[in-house]
Amino acid sequence: MTRIYFSARPEKWLEYQSPLRSALGETGISFHLAPTFDDPEKVDYIVYDPKGPLRDFTPFINAKAVLALWAGVEGIVNNPTLTQPLARMVDSGLSEGMAEWVTGQVLRHHLGLDEHICRTTPEWQPNAPPLARDRKVAILGLGALGQACAKALSDLNFDVSGWSRNPKKLTGIKCYSGDAGLQKALRAAEILVLLLPLTQQTENVLDSKRLAQLPKGAVILNPGRGGLIDDGALLAALDSGQIGHATLDVFRTEPLPTEHPYWAHPKVTVTPHIASETRPESASRMIAENIRRGENGEPFLNLVDRGAGY
């Protein structure tokens, strides 16, 4: 009997228990799935929600893996009590949701929709936008989510480039890496999308120096992590006109405090961390597949590199 501890908030248990049982049932594994266990030593796998109650992994001495429900693992990767293998969530639902949000926001800014939707007085200004092939979009971060967004935008004929820590090759995408590559990506980016993981190396990656490297009036989309941006530097760049607009979905503190200047800034759009959400059905299939792999002695999918931080 494989024992699986679902460590999450009560409302998550209500969302996940049925799809998880269904997905696990398809593996043929005999299992006991529950939100509580009296004896942590008998737990084989932990399904982990970062907002759940679990902080100390020490008692789970026989757990074969911790399977996170989130793609981001910055809140757990440095936990000294976590000695078990850690897998982050990478599933089709996350990728599809992120590609939809990013594509929608890129099209919004590319087409200049705000100028028409937010108009308060009659004004006839037939200023047609360029074609997508003439609009340069750069994506910082070419993991599963970044690749899904790059492909979706490339399929719409946008001129897409991407930057990642390690060299990548993607059909139809100009791929950069390293410091020199980051400068090339930034200097051409009329619309910049941030999809990097948050690590010591990427915190404040968009600081005043790099904001100045973007074309004047560039648009920034951040559905990645709030800590990727130096907030003070961004506000200054918006005020000076160096940055034309910022659409932000993630923040250092969430919910974003009501007094934060982003709320009132005319060149900032705030969305409440909705760019992509873990869907119980697709996430459950990924959890079940990793448990099946663990029970059959196969490598886990999406294991976190503790040194890299993701």
The domain in which residue 266 lies consists of 93-270
pTM for the structure as a whole:
0.92
Shared domain for 80 and 121, answered yes or no, is no
The answer to whether the beta carbons of residues 149 and 155 sit under 8 Å apart is no
Kindly report the CATH number assigned to the domain that includes residue 259: 3.40.50.720
Shared domain for 44 and 171, answered yes or no, is no
Q: What is the pLDDT of residues 146-180, one digit of tens each?
A: 999 999 999 999 999 999 999 999 999 999 999 99
Amino acid 251: pLDDT: 98
* Residue 274, CB-side half-sphere exposure with 13 Å CA sphere: 8
Give dist(CA 42, CA 138) in Å, integer.
47
Above pLDDT 70, what percent of the chain? Answer: 100
Phi-psi region of 72 (alpha: psi -120 to 50; beta: other; left: phi over 0): beta
Shared domain for 233 and 264, answered yes or no, is yes
Catalytic one of 135, 210, 225, 245 = 225
Catalytic one of 252, 265, 273, 279 = 273
Tell me whether residue 245 is one of the annotated catalytic residues.
no
Tell me whether residue 273 is one of the annotated catalytic residues.
yes
Give dist(CA 153, CA 147) in Å, integer.
10
The answer to whether the beta carbons of residues 71 and 52 sit under 8 Å apart is no
Mean pLDDT, residues 57-76? 96
**Phi then psi for 101, rounded to 5 degrees?**
-65, -50
Give dist(CA 263, CA 281) in Å, integer.
34
Shared domain for 257 and 285, answered yes or no, is no
Shared domain for 23 and 77, answered yes or no, is yes
Q: What is the pLDDT of residues 203-241, one digit of tens each?
A: 999 999 999 999 999 999 999 999 999 999 999 999 999
Residue 30 placed within a domain: yes
